[in-house]
Amino acid sequence: MNLLNNWQSITRLRWRTRCLLCGAASSRQGICPGCRTDLPWLTGPGCACCAHPLSLPGLCGRCLTEPPHFDRVIAACRYEYPLDGLIQACKYGGRLTVVSALADIMREPQRPQPDLMVAMPLSTQRLRERGFNQALELARDIARTTGIPLDADLCVKTRDTPPQTRLPWKERRKNIRGAFVVQRNIDGHHIAVIDDVLTTGATLSELARNLKRAGAATVTGWVIARTVAGGGINR
């Protein structure tokens, strides 16, 4: 058993010291400096609410006409190659060795310190199928390195819903409506919701609606990557 444990430790160390993208020598975060520089970082003006790229600072058309319940999204990168492959390897391939590298990417942008972090919850059925919640794994890594409190039980997804990616935007809000419960009062708190990718923001907005009903003063989405519509100007 000790031999097996030693072999597993060596294997984990090998993955952590080779770049997950090119295989070159890397830091314990798993992405070498060259590949890290080449990631599709979100730079330039963006929507002050949903982080979608804009030609000038301000609010995008959708956030102006249909304001979401969250206050702000902070996204490190665009959801593009090669980052999309790393996220999918973790989320759908169970490759948890990439969690620390993804969490390290999330720590790149400067952001206000929240009072509490929560992970975007999965339904019981989806958690049983996948075996883990990638958002919770990211949140645990961030909590461990920043000292920000994490409440893994505050938010619950009470029913399974069809994947949002299969639905038109207008159907996504209906699909997720009423799917979350916040289990205690959080009066006056600034809550950071950890997730991997933000697309339309419908899921985050619904969770933020429930967090604010439970007393949250501010809800900020922290994501690794944000999908960008054609041209990157509006969506």
The per-residue pLDDT for range 182-197, each reduced to its tens digit, is: 999 999 999 999 999 9
User: Residue holding tokens 């030609």?
Assistant: 55
Q: What is the pLDDT of residue 164?
A: 59
Does one domain contain both 110 and 17? no
Determine the Cα–Cα distance for residues 34 and 17; give it in Å rounded to an integer.
Answer: 14
HEC states along the chain?
A: CHHHHHHHHHHHHHHHCECCCCCCECCCCCCCHHHHHCCCECCCCEECCCCCECCCCECCHHHHHCCCCCCEEEEEEECCCCHHHHHHHHHCCCCHHHHHHHHHHHCCCCCCCCCEEEECCCCHHHHHHHCCCHHHHHHHHHHHHHCCCECCCCEEECCCCCCHHHCCHHHHHHHHCCCEEECCCCCCCEEEEEEEEECCCHHHHHHHHHHHHCCCCEEEEEEEEECCCHHHCCC
pLDDT at 186: 97
113 and 215 housed in the same domain = yes
**Same domain (yes/no): 6, 90:** no
pLDDT, one tens digit for every residue, the chain (235 residues) = 444 444 344 444 444 578 999 998 876 678 999 999 999 999 999 999 999 999 999 999 999 999 999 999 999 999 999 999 999 999 988 898 899 999 999 998 888 899 999 999 999 998 998 899 999 999 999 999 999 999 999 999 998 776 656 666 666 767 778 889 999 999 999 999 999 999 999 999 999 999 999 999 999 999 999 999 764 443 3
Task: Please indicate, yes or no, whether residues 195 and 150 belong to a single structural domain of this protein.
Answer: yes
Residues 68 and 94 in one domain: yes
**Do 159 and 137 share a structural domain?**
yes
Judgement on whether residues 27 and 109 belong to the same structural domain of the protein: no
One-letter amino acid at 104 equals: D
28 and 54 share a domain?
Answer: no
Q: Are residues 19 and 83 in the same domain?
A: no
- Which CATH number do you get for residue 161? 3.40.50
Contact 208, 69 (CB under 8 A): yes
Is 63 found in the same domain as 19?
A: no
The answer to whether residues 4 and 111 belong to one domain is no
Enclosing domain of residue 8: 1-38
- Specify the pLDDT at position 162: 62
Give the tokens for residue 146. 């920043």
Regarding whether 53 and 27 lie in a shared domain, the answer is: no
Q: What is the pTM of this model?
A: 0.86
Specify the number of domains making up the chain.
2
The closest of 195, 206, 52, 183 to 117, measured between CA atoms, is 195
Query: pLDDT, tens digit, for every residue of 204-228?
Result: 999 999 999 999 999 999 999 999 9
